[in-house]
Each structure stands twice: as C-alpha cells, then as structure tokens.
Structure 1
C-alpha cells in the first residue's frame, strides 16, 4: 500500500482541526448534528476565505453571519499573526482571484491593527496597496471603508490607495472604470487620498487633472491633447449617430475601436441600438476571453456566422487564453449549461485546460463527491446559478479521469458509483450525477473503501449524526478533504494523513500531489508558517 511520506509541521498547520475545549463545546456538532471539530483560527479563515463570496447566503449561514465571521477572524489574526494574515490577503487577490474578499479583509486588517495600536508585521499601507490590482478597486475599498468604519479614513489607508492609484490609473483604465455607475469615481479617489503623479509617468499629472474635471466639471472636461487614446475616443464619441455603425463594421473597424479604448459595453451604448452579427464580428478581435464567454448567447441571438463562431471557439479553447483569463473552472461549466451545443467542444477544452493542475495520482484512489441538499442550495456567488454540488462533481471527475485507477462515487443519504471511461470529457460524466439528500459520509466511506491507496472527499463537511466515529479509513491511508463552503464545524480531526484544503484554485489542485511527493504542504504564500 502506498503511504504518504512524512509531512512537515507547517503542512499539518494547514490542515489541523482540533476539538473545541470547554464544557459547552466538548462535543461540537455539524449543522446536521454529526460529531464535529473546530479548526485553529488560521485554518478556519483560510477555508472561509477561499470558499466564500462576500455577502453570499448559504444553506447553513446567512451572508451577514459569514461576513461577520470573516472580518472577526481577519481582525483577530491581523494582530496575532500579522505576517500570515497579510500573506493570505495578497494571495487571495492574486492567485486566489478573490477580489472582494481581499479588499474587505485588507480594511479589517488595518482597522484592527489601528485599534490595537500595533505596528508589528507588514505595514497597513503595504497591505492596502497589495490587494488593489484593478483600477476600480481603490474606489471600491474607500466606499467599503466609509460604509463600514465611517467617513474618517486613516492615513495608512489613504497612502496605500495612493500607491495603488499611481500604479493603476491610466487612460484606458479611465475609459473602462470611471463611469457614472461607480459610487466612487476616479476624481473622488484623487480628492480623498491626494495621490501625486508617478514621476516616472510624465503623462499622469494631466490624466489626474482630466479625471477631476470629468467628475466635477464634466461640461468643460477636455482630454489632454497629447493623449492619443483619449483623443481618439473623443473623436469616436463625436461621430454622428448615423455614421457610427459604418465606422465599426467597415475596414479597420476593430483596430479603430482598439485605438479608441472602446469595450463591447461602451460600443453597445454608443451605437444606441442592439448589436447585430456584423458589429459583433468587428468587436470580437478586441474582446477579452471572459467577455467572449459572457456573450455566447448574444452571439447566437445575433446569428453570428460559422466562420466567426470558429474564431471565437478557437480563442475560448486556447490554453494561453484560458491561463490569461484566470477564471475558476466552474465559469466554464456555467457557460456550458447555458450555451448552444455548437460551443460545447470549445468549453470542454477550456475546462480541461483549467483543470490541468489536477494531479495524476498513482495506485488506487477513492473519490467521493457530496451531492447533498446543502451543496445544491449553495451557489458560488449571488450572480451565479452554478451550485457547489456541480463544482464538486467537476473537481471529483477530473481527479478520477487523471488517476491511474479511481473509483468515482456520489453520496448523500445513499451512495453509488458514477461510471466513466478513460479520456471521456468531464462534462459528459457530469450528466450521471444526481441529487441525493442528506450527507451520510461515514456510510459512503464504509461502503466504498476497499484498501484504496488514498481517499479524496469533495464536500461541505456538514455530515449527519452517527453512532460511531465518522472516519472508518485506516489512519495510515491519506484522506484529503476539499471543503468548498468554509463552514466552521469540521467533519474530522487532525492528524497524520488527514488533510483539509479549500477552494478550487490551481494551488488547491496541486496539494495532494505535493504532499505525496514529499514536499511541504505549507500555506501557498510566503511568510509566517
């Protein structure tokens, strides 16, 4: 039997779970009444951060309760473990690709450290700067701070935002993000934080003045004469309405739009009408990969011709485009559920590229996918219709397909093998999963474990009550739990060969393979361990 090699103390810190001390929590329970364990605060925060979208309602917790738990954990750990917490927030925004959670977390980090009057660890200013990576985010962070902590914005927040502004504010960013729909315009941010232009960017002073004029004197705001992007954009806006469509669909239309910084959203408003197939054909070369994915149904409604469809499909399926998009795998699954059949092959290929870091595990692997009601109730965000159950099925299927030999099982009140063939498309296998009620994890483990080399569980961990211990797997056999929801109660204890991970990121995919190959399973960012 293959046994995982020794795992460092840092790796155990990533996954440890501990019973809650004290008489009131001597026998903690899951939300369904099963025996549970409560994680060390860093582990709890990590799983909550990667499994939660801010203000998201879930089956067992309200959005407000989850938000309060998240900010309370960040506030506590910002003081107790500042280097670790700063590393988490940076990682969340970068590799984790969790925008709002990192911004809300940075605000909580600063607020808690100012209240505690501590300067230990990474500076408040540097943490604010690090999480702001898109030009609309300085305004979003300031709006959140004022709504949550009041209109008195402290200097570390202002200075961190000013640092980010110098990095992020460009002419193209101004056109894309400085719109009337934003609560904080670029001019509002500049007024509040008093950011000085970057000396290495001689054009930025004029851009800042233009942003202030756009906000406070829009009737007389004129683009800097030496800014080719803003000048070209102004010229397009001044084009008579009846001439605009010809500018887009005529020769060089795509290049003209790109030079003027026009996005597909801005073109839709500028043309003052619906976008037909010819306009979409002109727009497609300047659209990003996620814009293409979002508009598949619009392409179909407009009757996009086959040649253009092939170009779009080729870009969606291109591995470099997929890498550049930095999207979670469930985005492609959601698109597949709503798009016409002609996009299926491209979306399957994109999903396959997105899952490329799922390791090819040797030996025999048991993969258990939670299909309980709570997994179906919870979606990944308020704007998504994709359930955690479907995301779990994608993840589990990908593991099974890449393993040397795997038994793929769905479980709830009951459990059953999910048939698949080597090399079969992931999306085809998903059609064989079902909704299975409650979460009887122990029964599924007892029924399907047959001396496998490892077990992978994809679940929210909220198991039903049992008459005996919930872990019937021999202690020398690695059991990897992927917690997709970030609830506080854990379904099993810590210990050698017991590991819990969160989220569906590239880092999460790699963890089981890294541990079994003898590498450290430490936190996926540098800093305090």
Structure 2
C-alpha cells in the first residue's frame, strides 16, 4: 500500500505567520492557545490595531503596551524588516496610527541601543498625510518629553517638505490641534523643497498664523489669499457666491466642512451640489445620507455614484471593505446600492476564485461585535461577514456558515450581492469553533475560518483545526490580533493571515500551488 504517493498529496508550503506546534497558553475563552513568534504576533496585532482603543478582551493600555514591547524587540533585532513592514503597513496595509506609533517606538528603541542608520527614513516613510507630522510630534512628546532626537526631527522635516501645501494648511491647521503647522516648523526646521519656491512663504505664514501675527498673506500663496477674501465677506452675502461664482470656492481650497461653517446655515442641495465636484472619495462615501437628506438632484447623485463605482477611484481611496458596508447601512436611499456593491467588489480585488469545494466559517460570537474603533459603528463581525461572503460568491463551490455557541448555514447564490448576503448573518453568542468545524466539514478541499481566534474551551478543549484531516488546508483569517491563536500556523496545511484589507487573500492560491508565502512586502 502506498504511504506517500496518493491523490491527496500536496507539495509542502510555508506561510509567514508562524506559531508553536504545541500550545503553551490559553485563548481568552479558555481553549488551548498557540503563541506566535515575535514578528508574527506583531504583524497580526498591527494590521488590526487602531491604537488607543479598547477591544473586547484587551483594554487599550494593555494592548498598546504589548504593541510597543513587540515593536521594540523587532526594531532592535531586525531593523531592516521593521522598516519594510512599517512602510507596507502605512501603504497597502492602510493602518495610519499603528504605523506612525510603530515608527516612533521603533526609533526610540533603536536609539536606546545606539543603533544608527535608517531611523530618519523610517519616520518619514509612515507620514503620508499633512496632519501626521503634528501627530508624530504630539505622540513623541507625550511619551518621551520635549527633547526630540535628530533622526525623528529630520524624518518629520522630510515629510513636511513633501506634505505642506496651501490646501493642506487650510484643511488641517486648526485651533483644535495641539501642534499646529507653525509649531511643527518651529521644532523641526524644515528647508523649503527645491521644486516648491512658494514653500518658504508657506512656512513663514504658518508661523504667523500660529503666533497671531497680523501680517498680510504672501503674494505667492494665492489660494490662501482667495480664502481670506471669502472669509471676510459678510455672512449675509456668502450664499450669493453659490449662485454667482461657485468656482471661487474651489479656487480658495474650501472643503465641505469649512463651507458648512462659513455659510452659518444649512448645507442644502445647492451647497452640496457646489461642493461635490471637489470632494474626495472618502468625503463622498461618508456623506451619502447627507446628500439624500438635503435632496441632492438625481443627476448629481449619478455623478457621485459613478465616482464611487470607479475601480481607479476605489484603488486610490484605499478604503477598508467595511467602509462600503457602513455606507450601505446608513444611506437611506437605494440609489447608492449598486455603486456601493461595485465599489466593494473593487476593494476585494484580491479575493481569489477558489476551485473545488470550500467551507467558509464566519465567527459571529459576542467578542466579534466589539467595535473596530470608537469612530465607526462597524465591528469585526461585519468585516468577517464581508470577507466570508465575498469568498463564497467567487468560489466554484462553497458552504458559507456562521458560528458562535451554535452554527448554521448562510444561504446565498453566486450571482448575489455581497451586501445583501451580509444582511442574513446574525449574532450567535459564544465561540464554539471546534464544534462548528466538525459539524460542517464534509470532505471539503479547504476550510477558511474568519475569526478573532478566541475559541471556547468547550467540554473537551478541542483544537478547531484538528477537526479537519491533516492533508486539507485550513486558513484562519484573524481580525483582532490577540496574543494566542486557536491553532498552529506556518506549516503542515495550517496557515494564519490577518488584517482588515483583502491583501492576504492572494496567499491562498500561492500556498496551494506549493509555493511558500512570504511577508506581503517581499
């Protein structure tokens, strides 16, 4: 009898999230918990960590301290890996605060160990929005005091050269910030970029604004001068600009938030219609309800919908898939539904069309309904449902199951809207993962579990992935980044991915082709 040369034999492949083979701890619900190596634990935490936010099982202080400790260790042990990881995390990973905090803590740890080289670049790489130099200084000084090391200053100065423009000053330099643009210029002393002859005047004007100096706006800053003219108009005359010269608003870099305050009156259909052409993708996505309530005309709404559904716009916006579900839930009009479904599809471009039969289990336990952040009503349960449904409708054959204390199939058709399928998911209590896997596995070619991995011990302390034969791959999609996972990972057909984007889905076909999956930036 053949022991190795069988039809089920697959080439061995490894994946980067690596755990111990024998559990050394417990999940938060008491099941056997598998610790990961330091880089793997850091990766899974960072791609799900909004920083400063409580989660169901970890308070923000505990979670942030664990994040800092992991960053410190990896930054000292392997600075090159850390630099590449942070650049990816801010870019493709789309995690803003975690990458900024990660870079500053990495540099702090490296400087404490006397490690030079690459620190300045690490800081500069994660600062991608014009309010982030101020965020970086606020974080550093709150953690380490007013003495800012040269690599941190120079990294921030590099970002200032790249990011400080008239439009960004008008948008982000507000009294609500502890570190204004002028404060940043004062502290890091950026030199104007060689290709931006107006930037020296901008820096000087930012300092004047910050210190209340009544000086005229330099001639080179034409947008800010036009903005000052608009702000000087009497309130009674401002709405006439919407009727007679709406182009003046765009020329002055007026955002919809600024317009609402400037008008000192309602944002009606006319105001929104004037602003929509200059609004960014996220601003449109977040204001669909406001457009409807103001009565924005159908032809204007059609232009918004076309923008939302445009694949290039979706790619540039780098929105998390759950943002489209949030917009779908909160917009009262159905005129956005098709565009949002298309946008969601574009945001899930990396979800593969899997061959064979796939069992997809979506965790709908209580801990998954914990909010992703205080600023969004979306939760990990809904993110899990989006990922699971998207994988199901693209697969050649799939069984989609939701689980908690008990489990049940979620009906769907392959031609169906993912947003509609998500509406069928419920809330199912505990995290009885092993029983759900055992109940629904019926000779599938693979199993995908979308979860926070905090499995319930049950009465036998079963390990969920052990319910599937060793030759069948089990892929765990981790959405929370807690310390211990519910099963082994990295080899032998057991693999863990993580994050709130679709990026790691592309690892599944890679592994099944017998190739090793590496970190996503390698």
Measured against the shorter chain, the TM-score band is over 0.9
Pick the aligned partner of 2:331 from 335, 339, 345.
339
Check the 8 A contact 2:8/2:471 in 1, yes or no.
no
RMSD: 1.6
Q: Distance in 1 between matches of 2:423 and 2:165?
A: 46
Give yes or no for the alignment of 1:142 onto 2:166: no
Unaligned runs of 5+ in 2: 1-6
1:326 and 2:318 matched: yes
Partner of 2:358: 365
| Mapped pair 1:128 → 2:123 | yes
d(CA) in 1 for partners of 2:236, 2:513: 64
Task: Output aligned runs, 1:433-512, within 5 Å.
Answer: 433-466=425-458, 467=460, 468-470=462-464, 471-494=466-489, 495-512=491-508
User: Which residue number in structure 1 is paired with residue 43 of structure 2?
Assistant: 46
Shift of 1:469: 4.1
Q: Structure 1: where are the runs of 5+ without partners? A: 21-25
Give me the TM-score of the superposition, normalised by structure 1.
Answer: 0.93
Q: Which of these residues, 240, 243, 250, is aligned with residue 234 of structure 2? A: 240
Residue 416 of structure 1, CA deviation: 1.1
Matches within 5 A, 1:64-213: 64-119=61-116, 123-213=118-208
Shift of 1:308: 2.0
Provide the rounded CA distance (Å) in 1 between the counterparts of 2:463 and 2:127: 45
- Out of 355, 377, 380, the position equivalent to 2:372 is 380
Question: Secondary structure at the residue paired with 1:292?
Answer: helix
Instruction: Name the structure 1 match of 2:3.
Output: none
- Distance in 2, matches of 1:513 and 1:56, equals 34
Match of 1:31 among 28, 37, 51: 28
Contact 1:3 1:477 (8 Å CA) reproduced: no
Structure 2 CA distance, aligned partners of 1:295 and 1:221? 37
Whether the aligned pair in 2 keeps the contact of 1:16 and 1:39 (CA below 8 Å) is yes
After TM superposition, the score normalised by the length of structure 2 is: 0.95
Q: Does 1:302 align with 2:325?
A: no
* Alpha-carbon offset, residue 68 of structure 1: 0.5
| C-alpha distance after superposition, 1:212-257 (max 9, x if no partner) | 1111134x1322112322222222222232222121233x51x322
Paired residue secondary structure (1:481):
strand
- Answer yes or no: is the 8 Å Cα contact 2:463–2:487 preserved in 1: no
Cα pair distance change 1:210/1:349, threshold 3 Å: same
Residues in 1 aligned to 2:463 and 2:295: alpha-carbon distance in whole angstroms: 58
**Counterparts of 2:69 and 2:435, CA distance in 1:** 36
- Residue of structure 2 in register with 1:6 after alignment: 12
Give the aligned length: 511
In 1, Cα distance between equivalents of 2:96 and 2:153: 19
The answer as to 2:402 corresponding to 1:410 is yes
Distance 1:171 1:402 in 2: 45
Which moved further from structure 2: 106-115 or 238-247? Answer: 238-247
Contact in 2 for aligned 1:297/1:339 (Cα 8 Å): yes
2:413 aligns with one of 421, 427, 433? 421
Task: Check the 8 A contact 2:50/2:97 in 1, yes or no.
Answer: yes
Q: Distance in 2 between matches of 1:4 and 1:246?
A: 71
